[in-house]
Amino acid sequence: MESEDDMIEDSLSYTVLKEADIKQRQEDDISKVSTVLSISRVDATILLRYYNWSVSKVHDEWFADEGRVRQSVGLLERPAVQVSNARELTCGICFESFLRDNITSVACGHPFCLSCWRGYISTTIYDGPGCLSLRCPDPSCNAAVGKDMIDKLATSEEKEKYSRYLLRSYVEDNRKTKWCPAPGCEYAVDFTVGSGNFDVSCNCSYSFCWNCTEEAHRPVDCETVAKWILKNSAESENMNWILANSKPCPKCKRPIEKNQGLCLGAWAEHGERTGGFYACNRYEAAKQEGVYDEAERRREMAKNSLEKYTHYYERWASNQLSRQKALADLHQMQTVHLEKLSDLQCTPESQLKFITEAWLQIVECRRVLKWTYAYGYYLPEHEHAKRQFFEYLQGEAESGLERLHQCAEKELNKFVTGDGPSKEFDDFRAKLAGLTSVTKNYFENLVRALENGLADVDSQAAAACSKTTSSKNTGGTSKTRGGRGKGSSKSGGSGRNVDDTSN
């Protein structure tokens, strides 16, 4: 088991970054570009920002056409305007005259007074991250304004904001990094794109999908998760309920909930001759003539759709609640019960790791099981073999999880609340560790099957079809052997799993 865990650690496709790690990586990238291209760190920062912090992209574009890159980014090699050597210069914004010491410009040479520069910089910084792409105030000029100008003229508060925007841009503009989406978390994740599994566990203990940033949802793909979340939050289910349980008023078209006959005729036309106001015989007569067949069929379909959705949603939500409860129990175990149990059983906490491992397995299995219900909802109804196989695997995994959860929750409690060492504790240790291992195997099989699109069912069906065709081609007495072969194929291999679910 230890060797497998080591392999898992080695195969991690991501790195969790603290703020200090992000700053260090950012500084390293700026240094690389500055050194290779022989430009200032300020210009290197502007280049990296423009190319989304991709060092390789900067190098490729720069060496392909330096002039075009300079023009696009705003790194001018020579001033766009020639400033006179006069003692005083006119500001291009306020048009006041100032001594040369009170006038400054970026590489383009357009002169502006320090006061106007400060106002311009302050406004853009307080407007948001757009200040990182600051350009010369002259409307016709594309020259970039770098961090050196910010450091020279901005207040300490504005410098802090600018630095914060710059740090965040390294994560938000970078294709390989993302912030952890957990509320209040300040960790970022650097991910190796193309590694297959997108599940990420942040140091804050939150697990999420790096691809779509929703909570970790393996083995269900991001598209299915997006559809499921949209379905849970949209008004479509309300409309399904309305369709299933109400009929529109013929005059105002508002939905009316009515569980007896409703002919949709005007109220004034009803009375004793129609069978009463509340039990109109026009509806029954029209129904017998087939007038309402289509409407009834649509309502029945809507009701069935709602019942199906409710079935899967309730189980999805139930496992979500169970997972949250398991997380709370895990925290309680780690902070309170382990120490107490160690004292009662005269066992060092290092030898009680099997309990923590069991709870971690429960938490992970609840997450997987929750998302299998979203998978099941979208599994096509006509693929009966796949649905049977899926329900079999899901049922086996769920049964194993319930046994593990029961053992970790109920059976452990008697040792935590006991008065002293128990001779049964070693037996409990073996049982809990065994259930943890078995449950893990169940869920690994389930995850593998779903990620493969339940391909085992297709391969089994193809094999059965091939065997049937072969038996038909042999003809004569071989038909009898073919019949026996067909029967035996149902009772062997993975095909047995599919058929067993119908029992």
- CA 375, CA 371: separation in Å to the nearest integer? 6
Q: Quick: pLDDT tens for 337-363.
A: 888 888 888 888 888 899 999 999 999
Range with the lowest mean pLDDT among 319-328, 351-360, 429-438, 460-469?
Answer: 460-469
**Average pLDDT for the chain:** 82
Portion of the chain with pLDDT greater than 70, in percent: 76
Q: Name, in order, each residue with C-beta under 8 angstroms of 77's C-beta and a sequence gap of 6 or more.
A: 70
- CA 224, CA 211: separation in Å to the nearest integer? 13
- CA 288, CA 290: separation in Å to the nearest integer? 5
Predicted pLDDT of residue 490: 37
- CA 132, CA 176: separation in Å to the nearest integer? 20
Helix, strand, or coil here: 359? helix
Beta bridge partners of 17: 188
* pLDDT of residue 230 exceeding 70: yes
Q: What is the CA radius of gyration of the chain?
A: 35
Residue in the structure block whose two tokens are 């502006």: 112
Range with the lowest mean pLDDT among 18-32, 239-253, 341-355, 395-409?
Answer: 239-253
Predicted pLDDT of residue 301: 82
* pLDDT of residue 482 exceeding 90: no
* pLDDT of residue 11 exceeding 60: no
Residue 138's pLDDT band, with cuts at 50, 70 and 90, is very high
Predicted pLDDT of residue 253: 53
Q: Which of 6-10, 289-293, 396-400 has the highest mean pLDDT?
A: 396-400
Contact predicate 487/467, CB 8 Å: no
Helix, strand, or coil here: 247? strand
Assign a CATH topology to domain 245-258+302-461: Four Helix Bundle (Hemerythrin (Met), subunit A) (1.20.120)
Residue 233's pLDDT band, with cuts at 50, 70 and 90, is confident
Residue 499's pLDDT band, with cuts at 50, 70 and 90, is very low
Assign a CATH topology to domain 78-162: Herpes Virus-1 (3.30.40)
Range with the lowest mean pLDDT among 74-88, 116-130, 151-165?
Answer: 74-88
Calculate the CA 123 to chain-centre distance: 36
Q: At 273, list the tokens.
A: 């001759």
Domain borders along the chain are: 78-162, 245-258+302-461
* pLDDT of residue 224 exceeding 60: yes
* pLDDT of residue 498 exceeding 50: no
299-326: average pLDDT: 87
Predicted pLDDT of residue 363: 94
Residue 194's pLDDT band, with cuts at 50, 70 and 90, is low
Picking from 396, 379, 373, the residue whose alpha carbon sits closest to that of residue 500 is 396
pTM of the complete model = 0.70
Vertex 35: Cα angle to 34 and 36 (nearest 5): 100
- CA 288, CA 282: separation in Å to the nearest integer? 10
Side-chain half-sphere exposure of 493, counting CA atoms within 13 A: 13
* The three-state (H, E, C) secondary structure of 157-203, written as one string: HHHHHHHHHHHHHHHHCCCCEEECCCCCCCCEEEECCCCCCCEEECC
Predicted pLDDT of residue 237: 60
Q: 49 or 11: whose pLDDT is higher?
A: 49
Helical segments of 417-477, H only: 425-451, 455-474
Residues 200, 202, 207, 209, Cα dihedral to 10°: -40
Beta bridge partners of 104: 112
Range with the lowest mean pLDDT among 160-174, 299-313, 373-387, 399-413?
Answer: 299-313
Predicted pLDDT of residue 183: 92
Q: 255 or 112: whose pLDDT is higher?
A: 112
